[in-house]
Amino acid sequence: MSAFPKEFLWGAASAAYQVEGAHDADGKGPSIWDTFSHLPGTTYQGTNGDVAVDHYHRFREDVALMAEMGMQSYRFSISWPRLLPQGRGTVNEAGVKFYSDLIDALLEHNIEPMITLYHWDLPQALQDEGGWEARSTAEAFEEYARLCYQRYGDRVKLWSTFNETVCFIGFGYITGGHPPGVQNPARAIQACHHVFVAHAKAVAAFRTSGIAGQIGFVNVLQTHTPLSQSAEDLAAYQLAEGIFTHWLYDPVLKGEYPAELLAQTQALWGVPQFAPGDEQLLRDNICDFIGLNYYKRETIAANNQESHLTINTTGEKGSGHQQGNEFGFKGLFKFVRNPNGVYTDWDWEIYPQGLTEGIMNIKARYGDIPIYITENGLGAKDPIIDGEVVDDDRIDYLRQHIGAIEDAIKQGADVRGYYPWSFIDLLSWLNGFQKQYGFIYVDHNKDLARQRKKSFFWYQKLIASNGAE
């Protein structure tokens, strides 16, 4: 017997841009990722989501595979410009129908849908008006959220507003590696504030919608450890905690920014600027649950060298952590290789205990908030032996992380579901199709044929035994 409660949800996750394809089908408008991925040099070998794994046309086959694996819940995102090609205003009914059919197919197989409203594919039309830097985008988001509640709220109980602010704001406005490709911390902070405002407005609208469900926010669970106990490394570690945890979780779980950091950024850059009522809005709209995406631990050190902002997107081990050239920000901190750590080919440290530690940190800071592990997985180039995808490393990775969740539950955390990334091999934003995460392999040389991996059968057994295996 495992420690998992019997109503625990065993699921898997994906995001619209990474699986759907059909980028201009049936009236869909372009998103910022459609634009960005077509610019030269932005993604691995120019890969993009034009076709992705064509889930848009094959979703019935995919849902049947999910059901065969025994999945009890499916976390997917809605493409905002598929529903509202201009970001607001005219509704594209064909786009509405796609998700409606997907939801029905899931429910027919007893798979609980969990919707993410925003997994990074902002309508290009809104970016042209300023994107998240414009407050009007928060208002458009509220309109979009209301439309989703209206059309799907009769069938969908689990909702989250945003996926991983740290990525789409951090990469979008600080490193410039994601759209809109800006490198300006002050602009990042203001854009991030509008995301919190949009979230709070969407939560408020949810609470008046009458939907019998829950709404949350999904963040990266970034577990940090200092490289050494030196005063400099400890200060860098504290700062990283402040930015990656407190700044990004406090506004949605406590309804306010961490006071000290807020005072510092306002003194330094004059941001975030609040509109009248913003503080009250945040305070009044605390989430029902938090979604945690955990892949790796980060080792933090002080950084006096120049900022270095590129990451390993090739899968060439070691390229992301070259000594003296690590990803980091001058004067703040850098992410360094842990000399005793085990790393993936993309230089992500595999550290399952970090998931237990991270969950317990969240509980310590925010109390008994319900938790879903909304992403967790191993990105790898899977071995194919005699035509079979033998992804033993993935099985090991997932097994250890499930054990880490079980430990957190034993220590009193209210973890309600687990969504490995991902149910199928899909497009990795900057790493193309070579970085595989799924239980199902997709053959890009054979009409995108689906094939069950070894992990598919392993997860099937694990679900059937409620985590006991």
Q: Write out the catalytic residue numbers.
A: 164, 375
What CA–CA distance (Å, rounded) separates 301 from 328? 9
The distance of closest approach from Cβ of residue 20 to ligand BGP in the complex, given in angstroms and rounded to an integer, is 13
CA 365 from chain centre, in angstroms, equals 21
Give the C-alpha separation, 389 to 367, whole Å. 42
Interface pick for ligand BGP out of 20, 375, 382, 425 (rule CB under 6 A): 375
- Which region among 248-256, 323-331, 391-399, 425-433 touches ligand BGP (by CB under 6 A)? 425-433
Q: How far is the CB of 379 from ligand BGP (least distance, A)?
A: 4
For residues 20 and 164, which CB has a smaller minimum distance to ligand BGP in the complex?
Answer: 164
User: Which is it for strands 440-443 and 112-118: parallel, antiparallel or unpaired?
Assistant: unpaired
Looking at this protein, which amino acid is placed at residue 456?
F
Query: What track of x and - describes contact with ligand BGP for positions 151 through 170 (by CB under 6 A)?
Result: ------------xx--x---
Amino acid at 99: Y
Sign of dihedral through CA atoms 117, 370, 365, 354?
negative
Nearer to ligand BGP among residue 47 and residue 163 (C-beta) = 163
For ligand BGP, the binding residues in 88-147 under the rule CB under 6 A are none
Q: Applying CB under 6 A, does 419 fall inside the site for ligand BGP?
A: no
Q: By the 8 A CB rule, do 305 and 330 touch? A: yes
Residue whose entry in the numeric block shows the structure tokens 């509220």: 142
Binding of ligand BGP at residue 379 (CB under 6 A)?
A: yes
Q: Per rule CB under 6 A, is residue 429 in the interface with ligand BGP?
A: yes
Q: Which is nearer to ligand BGP, 17 or 206 (CB)?
A: 17
One residue of 165, 190, 219, 428 binding ligand BGP per CB under 6 A: 428
What minimum distance in Å lies between the beta carbon of 218 and ligand BGP? 8
Query: How far is Cα 83 from Cα 95, in angstroms, rounded to an integer?
Result: 5
Residue by residue, DSSP assigns 441-459 as: EEETTTTTEEEE-HHHHHH
Is the link from the previous residue into 422 a cis peptide, with omega within 30 of 0?
Answer: yes
Q: How far is the CB of 428 from ligand BGP (least distance, A)?
A: 3
Q: What's the number of CA atoms in the CB half-sphere (13 Å) around residue 171?
A: 15
Residues constituting the chain: 469
| Count of residues engaged in binding ligand BGP, rule: CB under 6 A | 13
Query: Is the distance from CB of 253 to CB of 216 less than 8 angstroms?
Result: no
Nearer to ligand BGP, 161 or 293 (CB): 293
Q: Quick one: tokens of 85?
A: 């090609």
Nearer to ligand BGP, 16 or 282 (CB): 16
Count of Cβ atoms closer than 10 Å to residue 19 Cβ: 26
Residues 285-304 contacting ligand BGP, CB under 6 A: 293
- Element (DSSP H or E) covering residue 75: strand 73-77
Between 224 and 435, CB nearer to ligand BGP: 435
**How far apart are CB 289 and ligand BGP at their closest, in Å?**
17
Sign of the C-alpha dihedral, residues 268, 270, 274, 276?
A: positive
Nearer to ligand BGP, 15 or 102 (CB): 15
String of contacts with ligand BGP for each residue 214-253, x by CB under 6 A: ----------------------------------------
Shortest separation between residue 132's beta carbon and ligand BGP, angstroms: 17
**Could you count the other beta carbons within 10 Å of the beta carbon of residue 466?**
16
- Least distance CB 293 / ligand BGP (angstroms): 6
- Dihedral angle at the C-alpha atoms of 10, 14, 16, 22, nearest 10 degrees? -100
List the interface residues with ligand BGP, window 185-204 (CB under 6 A).
Answer: none
Distance of alpha carbon 320 from alpha carbon 204, whole angstroms: 41
- Interface residues toward ligand BGP, by CB under 6 A: 15, 18, 163-164, 167, 293, 375, 379, 421, 428-429, 431, 435
